[in-house]
Structure 1
Amino acid sequence: MTNSSRECNFTDIDRLAKTLQLGISIPTFIFGLVLNALALSVFCCFWKKQTKTSVYMINLALADVLLLLSLPLKLYYSIREAPGPLCSFTESLYFVNTYGSIFIIVCITVDRYICIRHPFEGRANQSPKWAILVCCFIWAVAWLCSSPMYVFHKKDYFKCFNNMSEQAWSIPIIVSVEIFGFLIPLAVMVFCSAQNIWILLNHKSQAKKNIEGSSSLRVIIINLVVFLVCFTPFHLAICLQCLVRQHVIVDCSLKQTISLFIQVAMVLANLNCCLDAIFYYFAAKEFREKTHLKKAIELCPVFKPRAT
């Protein structure tokens, strides 16, 4: 490392990042918690018959709620030192629910692809049992993969999401996170979404299917855009920070930029908790009928759904 890199100061960067985090995370926490609590109540109490889709949406809303509940701890203990076990649990809770959300979103996309590609088989096989097993597997693997969080820190007291050991930023771990946590889910999302869009566009000749197809297209596009906007910067930032920790990037100004970028990218990833509510609105008829979001969203011509 050069002298300039050793003397690189991140005080101003961290101060700016904390200001941005508070400005975005507080509204995200409030609106996200309200919307996801509302979604859980609708899906659990008003959904007439539980299906695979409802199981996935309940688990997605639950993951969003748990992630949102970790945000106050994340913000507080990222500026103040916390006991090691508490900090490791906070980090684990945050990342478990982030990647739990990613894989549940992928499951919803695959399920929708099956229903569109094979409508008769897909609609006939709506038993929630398989979805329950898949969600249990996702939660179990996510918690298991988060266990290294408890050994990545070597101090008894430290600031959460900071001062992770070099082991945490080792190339095998980061490559595994990038491939299995993002690139494979992204490939599945893009493939299924592209196939769904192609199928729906080629079945717009009939009037009824034109209306239903437009609604489905909106759901598919929103789901894919939310995934890309929320999770692509986050994983790009992880990759860049790994290069910093591996001393591939040593320029001070570039390291400061990456430090700011990774903190802002985590805030963008948290926005997924609020943006999922838009997905619930268009994807679930029960959510539209049982909430007052319908009147509010219909005022915006961009999101105004056509009659179904």
Structure 2
Amino acid sequence: MTNRSEECNFTSIDSLAKTLQFGISIPTFILGLVLNTLALSMFCCFWKKQTKTSVYMINLAIADVLLLLSLPLKLYYSVTEAPGLLCAFIESLYFVNMYGSIFIIVCITVDRYICIRHPFEGRANQSPKCAILICCFIWAIVWLCSSPMYVFHKDENLKCFHNMSEKAWSIPLIVSVEIFGFLIPLSAMVFCSAQNISILLNQKSRDKKKEEDSGSLRVITINLVVFLVCFTPVHLGICLQCLVRQHVIEDCSLKQNISLFIQVSMIFANLNCCLDAIFYYFAAKEFREKTNMKTVIELCPVFKPCAIRQDCLQWKNISSSAPTCLAGL
């Protein structure tokens, strides 16, 4: 997605960006794949009763795994030429799962807001059928919206995520991506998170619920911060790159900085795959209560040190005291 210009040389910029991509993306790929695969296995094997939250989390894990699987292809074909059709597929796979993750995260946040705001209705409406339909709708929409990717390349053989046609950077398209792909989800995240925090802070009997509210507030805050850190830079970079391709920005040095910024911001967006597993799955009440920790340790001995550490036990106690409505956070 970097810009190419006859007046500017981007060789050093791309070289630095590739070094950062390999240095960060490889650990992200390994850690994210392990965490999300483990989370999927736990939800499928140990979560006996499926709920709306579990459906969202399973779909989120699938989106993260598919995005992680696209990373090796992205790294390889961003430095090696490939047929335009193959590039279109790789780019489509990458962006479909990134935006799929964004929309599913928003659905989890909205669902928790409804549960906290209207606890009785929220608890009664935990049928997974509605969540399944919503997830199917999300997948259908993001795949449909990715179809123009197949006509965005100018050449038959090229480096993926580079040298897209001017159609890819048309103002109506970029504005649509920014509004529907980021600003609307961001607004929903900020509103629901702010309302959840406000409700929790204003609950009665603060002395009795101080510990559980502290844990819930922590998860809500981290959730919002992770969303902002992972997805805000890449959408800012897309906006700036659009200005470059529309010849609004002409300065060579600024073009180079924007080129580096958008490539680095995509690396940070990938980190969300690891953070999802940490802050969503292992904070779920059902995951803790219905998973036999001895079995987990036997299957994955790496968790043995964590299981005996006092800080892990303390986090478990804080999280497990959260109300049912807050558990899916």
Q: TM-score, normalised by structure 2?
A: 0.88
1:270 maps to 2:270: yes
Task: Note if contact 1:46-1:286 (Cα within 8 Å) is conserved in structure 2.
Answer: no
1:7 aligns to what SS in structure 2?
coil
CA-CA distance at 1:299 after TM superposition: 6.1
2:280 aligns to what SS in structure 1?
helix
Structure-2 separation of matches of 1:111 and 1:70: 29
Task: Note if contact 2:63-2:97 (Cα within 8 Å) is conserved in structure 1.
Answer: yes
Matches within 5 A, 1:42-57: 42-57=42-57
Matches within 5 A, 1:85-104: 85-104=85-104
Matches within 5 A, 1:98-247: 98-203=98-203, 205-247=205-247
Task: Note if contact 2:37-2:65 (Cα within 8 Å) is conserved in structure 1.
Answer: yes
Partner of 1:58: 58
Structure-1 separation of matches of 2:304 and 2:191: 30
After superposition, give the CA deviation of every residue in 1:7-64 in whole Å (9 maximum; x if it has no partner): 2100000000000000000000000000000000011111121000000000000000
Structure-1 separation of matches of 2:311 and 2:150: 46
CA-CA distance at 1:249 after TM superposition: 0.6
1:49 aligns to what SS in structure 2?
coil
CA-CA distance at 1:205 after TM superposition: 2.2
Q: Which amino acid aligns with 1:116?
A: I
Count how many residue pairs are aligned between Structure 1 and Structure 2. Answer: 303
Q: Kindly, what percent of the aligned residue pairs are identical?
A: 80
1:82 aligns to what SS in structure 2?
strand
Structure-2 separation of matches of 1:220 and 1:295: 27
Partner of 2:14: 14
Task: Note if contact 2:67-2:97 (Cα within 8 Å) is conserved in structure 1.
Answer: yes
Cα RMSD over matched residues?
A: 1.8
Q: Which amino acid aligns with 1:172?
A: P
Structure-1 separation of matches of 2:281 and 2:53: 13
After superposition, give the CA deviation of every residue in 1:72-122 in whole Å (9 maximum; x if it has no partner): 000000000011111100000000000000000000000000010000110
* 217-226 vs 96-105, greater mean Cα deviation: 217-226
Task: Note if contact 2:39-2:281 (Cα within 8 Å) is conserved in structure 1.
Answer: no
After superposition, give the CA deviation of every residue in 1:126-181 in whole Å (9 maximum; x if it has no partner): 00000000000000000000000001113211110000000000000000000000
2:153 aligns to what SS in structure 1?
coil
Structure-1 separation of matches of 2:7 and 2:306: 52
Task: Note if contact 2:57-2:281 (Cα within 8 Å) is conserved in structure 1.
Answer: no
Structure-2 separation of matches of 1:198 and 1:155: 53
Structure-2 separation of matches of 1:204 and 1:19: 53
Q: Which amino acid aligns with 2:254?
A: L
2:164 aligns to what SS in structure 1?
coil
Q: TM-score, normalised by structure 1?
A: 0.94
Partner of 1:284: 284
Structure-2 separation of matches of 1:98 and 1:213: 31
CA-CA distance at 1:6 after TM superposition: 3.5
1:29 maps to 2:39: no
Unaligned runs of 5+ residues in structure 2 are: 298-302, 322-329
Task: Note if contact 1:17-1:260 (Cα within 8 Å) is conserved in structure 2.
Answer: yes
Q: Which amino acid aligns with 1:37?
A: T
CA change 1:204–1:300 in 2 (3 A) is farther
Task: Note if contact 1:25-1:71 (Cα within 8 Å) is conserved in structure 2.
Answer: yes
Q: Which amino acid aligns with 2:99?
A: Y
CA change 1:200–1:282 in 2 (3 A) is farther
CA-CA distance at 1:306 after TM superposition: 4.2
CA change 1:204–1:306 in 2 (3 A) is farther
